[in-house]
Amino acid sequence: MGFLLGLIGLSATAQPVIPILTPTPPSPAGAPPPITPQAAALTSPTGWSCDDFPCEDDLDGWLKRLQVPPGFEITRYGQFPGQPQQITFGPDGRLYATVLENGTRRGSVYAMNAAGTVERITAAFESPVGLAFLPGTDILFVSSRTEEGAGALWRRTPEGSLILLIDDLPCCRDGVTGQPEGVIAGPDGFIYLGVSSLSDHAEPTNPQFERHATPQPNEASILRVQPQNGAIDVYAEGFREPYDLAFAPDGRLYATDNGTYGGIGDRVLTVTQGGHYGFPFWRPRGCEDCPPTDYSLDILPDLLPLPPLTLPRGVTVYTGAQFPANYFGSVFVTLWNGTPEGQRVIRIEPDRVPTDPELLAAFTPEPFVTGLIRPTDVTVAPDGSLLVADFIYGQVWQVRWTGRIPPTPTPPPTNTLPPVMFATHTPSN
Protein backbone atom coordinates (compact mmCIF):
# COMPACT_ATOMS: atom_id res chain seq x y z
CA MET A 1 0.00 0.00 0.00
CA GLY A 2 3.02 2.28 0.41
CA PHE A 3 3.07 3.28 -3.26
CA LEU A 4 -0.49 4.57 -2.99
CA LEU A 5 0.18 6.56 0.16
CA GLY A 6 3.15 8.23 -1.45
CA LEU A 7 1.46 8.75 -4.81
CA ILE A 8 -1.79 10.40 -3.83
CA GLY A 9 -1.54 11.12 -0.15
CA LEU A 10 -3.98 8.54 1.13
CA SER A 11 -5.30 8.92 4.63
CA ALA A 12 -6.49 6.15 6.93
CA THR A 13 -7.60 8.54 9.68
CA ALA A 14 -9.61 11.33 8.06
CA GLN A 15 -13.29 10.99 8.96
CA PRO A 16 -15.41 13.54 7.07
CA VAL A 17 -19.09 13.62 7.88
CA ILE A 18 -20.92 11.43 5.37
CA PRO A 19 -24.60 12.16 4.77
CA ILE A 20 -26.98 9.21 4.82
CA LEU A 21 -29.68 9.94 2.28
CA THR A 22 -32.77 7.91 1.49
CA PRO A 23 -33.14 7.69 -2.29
CA THR A 24 -36.56 8.08 -3.88
CA PRO A 25 -37.83 4.61 -4.79
CA PRO A 26 -37.93 4.12 -8.58
CA SER A 27 -41.16 3.26 -10.35
CA PRO A 28 -42.20 2.12 -13.84
CA ALA A 29 -44.36 5.21 -14.37
CA GLY A 30 -44.31 6.21 -18.03
CA ALA A 31 -42.95 2.87 -19.22
CA PRO A 32 -44.22 1.32 -22.46
CA PRO A 33 -47.12 -1.11 -21.98
CA PRO A 34 -46.39 -4.71 -20.98
CA ILE A 35 -45.46 -7.22 -23.63
CA THR A 36 -45.18 -10.98 -23.85
CA PRO A 37 -41.46 -11.55 -23.20
CA GLN A 38 -39.46 -13.48 -25.77
CA ALA A 39 -35.96 -14.94 -25.50
CA ALA A 40 -32.98 -13.72 -27.48
CA ALA A 41 -31.87 -16.02 -30.28
CA LEU A 42 -28.62 -17.97 -30.07
CA THR A 43 -25.78 -17.35 -32.50
CA SER A 44 -23.22 -19.56 -34.20
CA PRO A 45 -20.10 -20.15 -32.08
CA THR A 46 -17.83 -20.14 -35.14
CA GLY A 47 -17.43 -18.49 -38.51
CA TRP A 48 -16.62 -14.95 -37.36
CA SER A 49 -13.74 -12.70 -38.40
CA CYS A 50 -11.57 -13.99 -35.53
CA ASP A 51 -13.00 -17.53 -35.70
CA ASP A 52 -14.99 -17.99 -32.48
CA PHE A 53 -15.84 -14.28 -32.26
CA PRO A 54 -15.64 -11.12 -34.35
CA CYS A 55 -12.32 -9.31 -34.08
CA GLU A 56 -12.08 -6.41 -31.66
CA ASP A 57 -12.60 -3.72 -34.33
CA ASP A 58 -15.22 -5.65 -36.32
CA LEU A 59 -18.24 -3.66 -35.16
CA ASP A 60 -20.47 -4.93 -37.98
CA GLY A 61 -19.59 -8.48 -37.00
CA TRP A 62 -20.43 -7.83 -33.37
CA LEU A 63 -23.76 -6.25 -34.20
CA LYS A 64 -24.62 -9.33 -36.26
CA ARG A 65 -23.49 -11.73 -33.56
CA LEU A 66 -25.06 -10.12 -30.48
CA GLN A 67 -28.71 -11.01 -30.14
CA VAL A 68 -31.49 -9.48 -28.02
CA PRO A 69 -35.22 -10.26 -27.90
CA PRO A 70 -37.57 -8.89 -30.57
CA GLY A 71 -38.41 -5.26 -29.93
CA PHE A 72 -35.01 -4.48 -28.39
CA GLU A 73 -31.82 -3.28 -30.07
CA ILE A 74 -28.17 -3.44 -29.03
CA THR A 75 -25.49 -0.90 -29.89
CA ARG A 76 -21.96 -0.21 -28.73
CA TYR A 77 -21.79 2.33 -25.90
CA GLY A 78 -18.00 2.57 -25.57
CA GLN A 79 -14.81 0.75 -24.66
CA PHE A 80 -12.59 0.78 -21.57
CA PRO A 81 -8.77 0.58 -21.97
CA GLY A 82 -8.46 -2.75 -20.20
CA GLN A 83 -10.65 -5.42 -18.68
CA PRO A 84 -13.70 -4.10 -16.78
CA GLN A 85 -14.68 -5.92 -13.62
CA GLN A 86 -17.81 -4.15 -12.41
CA ILE A 87 -19.69 -1.06 -13.58
CA THR A 88 -22.05 1.52 -12.11
CA PHE A 89 -23.35 4.97 -12.97
CA GLY A 90 -22.26 7.97 -10.95
CA PRO A 91 -24.30 11.01 -9.95
CA ASP A 92 -22.69 12.92 -12.85
CA GLY A 93 -24.24 10.52 -15.38
CA ARG A 94 -20.93 8.90 -16.30
CA LEU A 95 -20.34 5.15 -16.33
CA TYR A 96 -17.71 4.09 -13.77
CA ALA A 97 -15.78 0.83 -13.87
CA THR A 98 -13.01 -1.00 -12.08
CA VAL A 99 -10.65 -1.83 -14.94
CA LEU A 100 -7.64 -4.16 -14.92
CA GLU A 101 -4.72 -2.66 -16.81
CA ASN A 102 -1.94 -3.93 -19.07
CA GLY A 103 -2.97 -7.57 -18.79
CA THR A 104 -2.32 -7.63 -15.03
CA ARG A 105 -4.40 -7.93 -11.87
CA ARG A 106 -3.71 -4.29 -11.05
CA GLY A 107 -6.19 -1.70 -12.14
CA SER A 108 -7.93 1.61 -11.55
CA VAL A 109 -11.34 3.21 -11.65
CA TYR A 110 -12.28 4.79 -14.97
CA ALA A 111 -15.22 7.01 -15.91
CA MET A 112 -16.84 7.07 -19.36
CA ASN A 113 -19.22 9.75 -20.62
CA ALA A 114 -22.03 9.26 -23.13
CA ALA A 115 -19.69 10.16 -26.00
CA GLY A 116 -17.39 7.28 -25.05
CA THR A 117 -14.58 9.47 -23.69
CA VAL A 118 -12.77 7.69 -20.86
CA GLU A 119 -10.94 9.21 -17.88
CA ARG A 120 -8.78 7.43 -15.30
CA ILE A 121 -9.83 8.83 -11.93
CA THR A 122 -7.78 6.86 -9.37
CA ALA A 123 -4.32 5.44 -8.92
CA ALA A 124 -3.85 1.69 -9.24
CA PHE A 125 -5.27 -0.88 -6.83
CA GLU A 126 -4.37 -4.51 -6.36
CA SER A 127 -7.19 -6.52 -8.00
CA PRO A 128 -10.04 -3.98 -7.83
CA VAL A 129 -13.49 -5.52 -8.29
CA GLY A 130 -16.60 -3.91 -6.82
CA LEU A 131 -17.60 -0.26 -6.76
CA ALA A 132 -20.63 1.71 -5.62
CA PHE A 133 -21.62 5.30 -4.93
CA LEU A 134 -23.35 6.29 -1.73
CA PRO A 135 -26.81 7.48 -2.90
CA GLY A 136 -27.10 11.22 -3.41
CA THR A 137 -23.33 11.76 -3.17
CA ASP A 138 -20.20 11.40 -5.26
CA ILE A 139 -18.52 9.31 -2.55
CA LEU A 140 -17.29 6.09 -4.16
CA PHE A 141 -16.45 2.77 -2.48
CA VAL A 142 -14.10 0.25 -4.11
CA SER A 143 -13.18 -3.30 -3.07
CA SER A 144 -9.68 -4.66 -3.71
CA ARG A 145 -6.65 -6.26 -2.09
CA THR A 146 -3.80 -4.60 -0.27
CA GLU A 147 -0.18 -5.05 -1.33
CA GLU A 148 0.26 -7.15 1.81
CA GLY A 149 -2.41 -9.62 0.66
CA ALA A 150 -5.40 -8.61 2.77
CA GLY A 151 -8.89 -7.72 1.61
CA ALA A 152 -9.67 -4.01 1.45
CA LEU A 153 -12.49 -1.51 1.07
CA TRP A 154 -11.60 2.01 -0.05
CA ARG A 155 -13.56 5.25 0.04
CA ARG A 156 -12.92 7.93 -2.58
CA THR A 157 -13.84 11.42 -1.46
CA PRO A 158 -15.48 14.05 -3.70
CA GLU A 159 -12.07 15.74 -3.87
CA GLY A 160 -10.46 12.58 -5.25
CA SER A 161 -8.56 11.36 -2.19
CA LEU A 162 -8.62 7.66 -1.32
CA ILE A 163 -9.18 6.54 2.27
CA LEU A 164 -8.43 2.95 3.24
CA LEU A 165 -11.60 2.22 5.20
CA ILE A 166 -10.96 -1.49 5.93
CA ASP A 167 -7.64 -3.29 5.43
CA ASP A 168 -8.00 -6.66 7.19
CA LEU A 169 -10.72 -8.57 5.34
CA PRO A 170 -10.23 -12.24 4.40
CA CYS A 171 -8.13 -12.71 1.27
CA CYS A 172 -6.87 -14.36 -1.02
CA ARG A 173 -7.69 -17.81 -2.43
CA ASP A 174 -5.48 -17.38 -5.48
CA GLY A 175 -4.33 -14.65 -7.81
CA VAL A 176 -7.81 -14.07 -9.17
CA THR A 177 -10.49 -15.03 -6.65
CA GLY A 178 -11.12 -15.28 -2.94
CA GLN A 179 -11.31 -11.65 -1.87
CA PRO A 180 -13.78 -8.79 -1.24
CA GLU A 181 -15.80 -8.42 -4.43
CA GLY A 182 -19.37 -7.14 -4.91
CA VAL A 183 -20.21 -3.71 -3.42
CA ILE A 184 -23.62 -2.02 -3.27
CA ALA A 185 -25.13 0.83 -1.30
CA GLY A 186 -28.23 -0.24 0.61
CA PRO A 187 -31.45 1.72 1.05
CA ASP A 188 -30.48 2.11 4.72
CA GLY A 189 -27.38 4.15 3.86
CA PHE A 190 -24.93 1.34 4.63
CA ILE A 191 -22.51 -0.36 2.25
CA TYR A 192 -22.96 -4.08 1.55
CA LEU A 193 -19.87 -6.06 0.62
CA GLY A 194 -19.48 -9.65 -0.57
CA VAL A 195 -16.42 -11.47 0.77
CA SER A 196 -15.41 -14.75 -0.84
CA SER A 197 -14.39 -18.02 0.74
CA LEU A 198 -10.65 -18.62 0.99
CA SER A 199 -11.07 -22.25 -0.10
CA ASP A 200 -12.70 -24.05 -2.99
CA HIS A 201 -14.66 -26.55 -0.85
CA ALA A 202 -13.22 -26.07 2.68
CA GLU A 203 -10.15 -28.14 1.84
CA PRO A 204 -7.62 -27.94 4.69
CA THR A 205 -4.39 -25.99 4.40
CA ASN A 206 -2.69 -28.64 6.56
CA PRO A 207 -4.36 -32.05 6.12
CA GLN A 208 -2.21 -33.57 8.87
CA PHE A 209 -3.98 -31.52 11.51
CA GLU A 210 -7.47 -30.79 10.16
CA ARG A 211 -9.94 -32.49 7.90
CA HIS A 212 -11.59 -29.30 6.66
CA ALA A 213 -10.59 -25.65 6.74
CA THR A 214 -11.93 -23.48 9.53
CA PRO A 215 -13.33 -20.23 8.09
CA GLN A 216 -11.96 -16.91 9.23
CA PRO A 217 -14.21 -14.24 10.72
CA ASN A 218 -16.12 -12.41 7.93
CA GLU A 219 -15.15 -15.04 5.35
CA ALA A 220 -17.72 -16.39 2.86
CA SER A 221 -20.20 -13.72 3.88
CA ILE A 222 -21.99 -10.53 2.96
CA LEU A 223 -21.00 -7.71 5.29
CA ARG A 224 -22.91 -4.57 6.24
CA VAL A 225 -20.42 -1.71 6.54
CA GLN A 226 -20.87 1.67 8.22
CA PRO A 227 -19.62 4.09 5.54
CA GLN A 228 -18.23 6.61 8.03
CA ASN A 229 -15.93 4.45 10.15
CA GLY A 230 -15.91 1.01 8.50
CA ALA A 231 -17.63 -0.81 11.37
CA ILE A 232 -18.69 -4.28 10.20
CA ASP A 233 -21.67 -6.54 10.84
CA VAL A 234 -22.13 -9.93 9.19
CA TYR A 235 -25.39 -9.58 7.27
CA ALA A 236 -25.54 -13.16 5.93
CA GLU A 237 -23.16 -16.08 5.42
CA GLY A 238 -22.71 -19.39 3.66
CA PHE A 239 -21.52 -18.10 0.27
CA ARG A 240 -18.61 -19.41 -1.74
CA GLU A 241 -17.97 -16.33 -3.87
CA PRO A 242 -20.63 -13.58 -3.70
CA TYR A 243 -19.35 -11.78 -6.76
CA ASP A 244 -21.99 -9.08 -7.12
CA LEU A 245 -24.94 -7.63 -5.21
CA ALA A 246 -28.08 -5.71 -6.17
CA PHE A 247 -30.99 -4.21 -4.26
CA ALA A 248 -34.53 -4.21 -5.66
CA PRO A 249 -36.98 -1.32 -5.14
CA ASP A 250 -38.85 -3.46 -2.59
CA GLY A 251 -35.68 -3.83 -0.50
CA ARG A 252 -34.80 -7.38 -1.50
CA LEU A 253 -31.08 -8.06 -1.85
CA TYR A 254 -29.86 -10.34 -4.65
CA ALA A 255 -26.43 -11.91 -5.01
CA THR A 256 -24.59 -14.02 -7.55
CA ASP A 257 -22.49 -16.84 -6.10
CA ASN A 258 -19.81 -18.76 -8.00
CA GLY A 259 -19.56 -22.48 -7.31
CA THR A 260 -16.58 -24.77 -6.91
CA TYR A 261 -13.86 -25.32 -9.49
CA GLY A 262 -15.70 -28.52 -10.38
CA GLY A 263 -18.85 -26.58 -11.24
CA ILE A 264 -21.00 -27.28 -8.18
CA GLY A 265 -23.00 -24.41 -6.75
CA ASP A 266 -23.34 -21.66 -9.38
CA ARG A 267 -26.49 -19.80 -8.32
CA VAL A 268 -28.50 -16.62 -7.81
CA LEU A 269 -29.71 -15.87 -4.29
CA THR A 270 -32.24 -13.71 -2.51
CA VAL A 271 -30.37 -12.71 0.64
CA THR A 272 -32.08 -12.37 4.01
CA GLN A 273 -30.44 -10.78 7.03
CA GLY A 274 -29.08 -13.46 9.36
CA GLY A 275 -29.49 -16.16 6.73
CA HIS A 276 -27.06 -18.99 6.01
CA TYR A 277 -26.85 -20.18 2.39
CA GLY A 278 -25.12 -23.49 2.87
CA PHE A 279 -21.48 -23.20 1.85
CA PRO A 280 -19.30 -25.16 2.54
CA PHE A 281 -21.84 -27.85 3.51
CA TRP A 282 -22.48 -28.90 -0.08
CA ARG A 283 -22.49 -32.68 0.11
CA PRO A 284 -26.21 -32.68 -0.79
CA ARG A 285 -25.21 -30.86 -4.00
CA GLY A 286 -22.71 -33.58 -4.89
CA CYS A 287 -19.52 -32.16 -3.37
CA GLU A 288 -18.16 -35.31 -1.73
CA ASP A 289 -15.08 -33.52 -0.37
CA CYS A 290 -17.11 -30.79 1.31
CA PRO A 291 -17.77 -30.97 5.08
CA PRO A 292 -20.81 -32.93 6.24
CA THR A 293 -23.99 -30.93 6.72
CA ASP A 294 -24.24 -28.95 9.94
CA TYR A 295 -27.81 -29.74 10.98
CA SER A 296 -27.79 -26.98 13.58
CA LEU A 297 -28.02 -24.49 10.71
CA ASP A 298 -31.24 -23.43 9.03
CA ILE A 299 -29.88 -23.33 5.49
CA LEU A 300 -31.89 -21.15 3.11
CA PRO A 301 -32.55 -22.22 -0.49
CA ASP A 302 -31.21 -20.73 -3.71
CA LEU A 303 -33.45 -18.46 -5.71
CA LEU A 304 -32.16 -20.10 -8.88
CA PRO A 305 -29.50 -22.81 -9.27
CA LEU A 306 -27.60 -22.33 -12.52
CA PRO A 307 -25.95 -24.80 -14.90
CA PRO A 308 -22.50 -25.91 -13.73
CA LEU A 309 -19.54 -23.72 -14.67
CA THR A 310 -21.62 -20.86 -16.06
CA LEU A 311 -20.03 -18.59 -13.40
CA PRO A 312 -22.61 -15.89 -12.66
CA ARG A 313 -20.92 -12.51 -12.25
CA GLY A 314 -22.79 -9.23 -12.52
CA VAL A 315 -26.34 -8.72 -11.27
CA THR A 316 -28.70 -5.76 -11.40
CA VAL A 317 -32.40 -5.16 -10.88
CA TYR A 318 -34.19 -3.27 -13.63
CA THR A 319 -35.48 -0.01 -12.16
CA GLY A 320 -35.98 2.06 -15.32
CA ALA A 321 -38.99 2.99 -17.41
CA GLN A 322 -37.48 2.60 -20.90
CA PHE A 323 -38.30 -1.13 -21.12
CA PRO A 324 -41.91 -2.37 -21.13
CA ALA A 325 -43.62 -2.01 -17.75
CA ASN A 326 -43.55 -5.73 -16.93
CA TYR A 327 -39.72 -5.70 -17.06
CA PHE A 328 -39.58 -3.48 -13.98
CA GLY A 329 -38.08 -5.48 -11.11
CA SER A 330 -36.53 -8.09 -13.41
CA VAL A 331 -33.16 -9.42 -12.27
CA PHE A 332 -30.47 -9.45 -14.96
CA VAL A 333 -27.41 -11.68 -14.47
CA THR A 334 -24.27 -12.09 -16.57
CA LEU A 335 -23.05 -15.66 -17.11
CA TRP A 336 -19.32 -15.37 -17.67
CA ASN A 337 -17.99 -18.72 -18.78
CA GLY A 338 -17.62 -20.28 -22.22
CA THR A 339 -20.13 -23.09 -21.73
CA PRO A 340 -23.22 -23.84 -23.84
CA GLU A 341 -25.41 -22.00 -21.30
CA GLY A 342 -22.90 -19.21 -20.63
CA GLN A 343 -21.57 -16.07 -22.36
CA ARG A 344 -24.88 -14.28 -22.04
CA VAL A 345 -27.14 -12.11 -19.93
CA ILE A 346 -30.21 -13.82 -18.52
CA ARG A 347 -33.43 -12.26 -17.24
CA ILE A 348 -35.21 -13.57 -14.15
CA GLU A 349 -38.64 -12.65 -12.79
CA PRO A 350 -38.03 -13.58 -9.14
CA ASP A 351 -41.67 -14.12 -8.22
CA ARG A 352 -42.10 -16.54 -11.14
CA VAL A 353 -39.19 -18.80 -10.30
CA PRO A 354 -40.65 -22.11 -9.05
CA THR A 355 -40.01 -23.13 -5.47
CA ASP A 356 -41.04 -26.75 -6.01
CA PRO A 357 -37.76 -28.69 -6.49
CA GLU A 358 -38.98 -30.66 -9.51
CA LEU A 359 -40.32 -27.58 -11.27
CA LEU A 360 -37.20 -25.61 -10.37
CA ALA A 361 -34.96 -28.31 -11.85
CA ALA A 362 -36.77 -27.91 -15.18
CA PHE A 363 -36.84 -24.10 -15.09
CA THR A 364 -34.75 -22.25 -17.69
CA PRO A 365 -34.04 -18.53 -17.31
CA GLU A 366 -34.67 -16.32 -20.32
CA PRO A 367 -31.63 -15.48 -22.50
CA PHE A 368 -31.68 -11.70 -22.90
CA VAL A 369 -28.32 -10.91 -24.55
CA THR A 370 -26.42 -13.70 -26.30
CA GLY A 371 -23.17 -13.87 -28.27
CA LEU A 372 -20.91 -12.16 -25.71
CA ILE A 373 -17.39 -13.35 -24.86
CA ARG A 374 -17.00 -12.84 -21.10
CA PRO A 375 -19.83 -10.64 -19.83
CA THR A 376 -18.71 -9.41 -16.45
CA ASP A 377 -21.33 -6.92 -15.26
CA VAL A 378 -24.62 -5.25 -16.09
CA THR A 379 -26.23 -2.03 -14.88
CA VAL A 380 -29.20 0.24 -15.56
CA ALA A 381 -28.42 3.61 -17.16
CA PRO A 382 -30.12 6.86 -16.09
CA ASP A 383 -32.19 6.78 -19.31
CA GLY A 384 -33.48 3.28 -18.48
CA SER A 385 -31.38 1.38 -21.00
CA LEU A 386 -29.33 -1.63 -19.89
CA LEU A 387 -25.53 -1.66 -20.19
CA VAL A 388 -23.38 -4.80 -20.33
CA ALA A 389 -19.59 -4.83 -19.92
CA ASP A 390 -17.53 -7.54 -21.63
CA PHE A 391 -14.18 -8.39 -20.06
CA ILE A 392 -12.06 -9.43 -23.04
CA TYR A 393 -12.03 -6.31 -25.23
CA GLY A 394 -13.39 -3.90 -22.62
CA GLN A 395 -16.45 -3.19 -24.73
CA VAL A 396 -19.71 -1.89 -23.26
CA TRP A 397 -22.98 -2.66 -25.02
CA GLN A 398 -26.27 -0.79 -24.61
CA VAL A 399 -29.69 -2.45 -24.89
CA ARG A 400 -32.77 -0.31 -25.56
CA TRP A 401 -36.43 -1.01 -26.19
CA THR A 402 -37.58 0.16 -29.64
CA GLY A 403 -40.94 -1.57 -29.91
CA ARG A 404 -40.13 -2.68 -33.44
CA ILE A 405 -41.13 -6.33 -33.39
CA PRO A 406 -40.90 -8.17 -36.71
CA PRO A 407 -44.25 -9.62 -37.75
CA THR A 408 -44.69 -13.30 -37.08
CA PRO A 409 -44.85 -15.22 -40.39
CA THR A 410 -48.29 -16.61 -41.13
CA PRO A 411 -48.10 -20.40 -40.91
CA PRO A 412 -49.35 -22.40 -43.87
CA PRO A 413 -52.94 -23.59 -43.56
CA THR A 414 -53.47 -27.04 -42.11
CA ASN A 415 -56.13 -29.71 -42.60
CA THR A 416 -56.90 -28.45 -46.11
CA LEU A 417 -58.59 -30.57 -48.74
CA PRO A 418 -56.45 -31.88 -51.60
CA PRO A 419 -56.53 -29.66 -54.67
CA VAL A 420 -59.20 -30.41 -57.26
CA MET A 421 -57.66 -31.81 -60.43
CA PHE A 422 -59.25 -30.86 -63.74
CA ALA A 423 -58.76 -32.90 -66.89
CA THR A 424 -57.25 -30.97 -69.77
CA HIS A 425 -57.24 -31.78 -73.46
CA THR A 426 -54.17 -31.63 -75.57
CA PRO A 427 -54.89 -29.47 -78.58
CA SER A 428 -54.69 -31.29 -81.90
CA ASN A 429 -53.76 -29.82 -85.24
Q: Which fold has domain 40-401?
A: Neuraminidase (2.120.10)
Note whether 63 and 379 are within 8 A (CB).
no
- Give CA separation, 54 vs 33, 45, 61, 343, in Å: 35, 10, 5, 14
* Amino acid 176: pLDDT: 85
Q: Is the pLDDT score of 423 beyond 60?
A: no
pTM: 0.91
Model pLDDT for residues 350-373, shown as the tens digit of each residue: 999 999 999 999 999 999 999 999
Model pLDDT for residues 301-322, shown as the tens digit of each residue: 999 999 999 999 999 999 999 9
Residue ranges in 23-159 assigned as alpha helix (H):
59-65
Instruction: Report residue 303: phi and psi, to 5°.
Output: -70, -45
Of 132, 83, 88, which Cα lies nearest the Cα of 108? 83
* Amino acid 96: pLDDT: 99
* CA-angle at 84, arms to 83 and 89, nearest 5°: 155
Q: Is 251 left (phi over 0), alpha (psi -120 to 50) or beta?
A: left
Note whether 128 and 85 are within 8 A (CB).
yes
Model pLDDT for residues 33-82, shown as the tens digit of each residue: 999 999 999 988 889 999 999 999 999 999 999 999 999 999 999 999 99
* Amino acid 174: pLDDT: 85
- Residue 274 gets which letter from DSSP? T
Cis peptide before 172 (omega within 30 of 0): yes
Q: Is the pLDDT score of 115 beyond 90?
A: yes
Instruction: Report residue 419: phi and psi, to 5°.
Output: -65, 145
Model pLDDT for residues 212-254, shown as the tens digit of each residue: 999 999 999 999 999 999 999 999 999 999 999 999 999 999 9
DSSP-assigned letters across all residues of 314-371: EEEE---SSS-GGGTT-EEEEE-SSSTT-SEEEEE-GGGS--SHHHHHT--PEEEEES
- What is the strand order of the sheet 267-271 is part of? 242-247, 253-257, 267-271, 304-305
The C-alpha atoms of residue 16 and residue 163 are separated, in whole angstroms, by: 11
Note whether 319 and 332 are within 8 A (CB).
no
Instruction: Report residue 64: phi and psi, to 5°.
Output: -80, -35
Question: Which of the four pLDDT bands, split at 50, 70 and 90, describes residue 414?
Answer: low
Q: Is the pLDDT score of 137 beyond 80?
A: yes
Report domain extents, the chain: 40-401
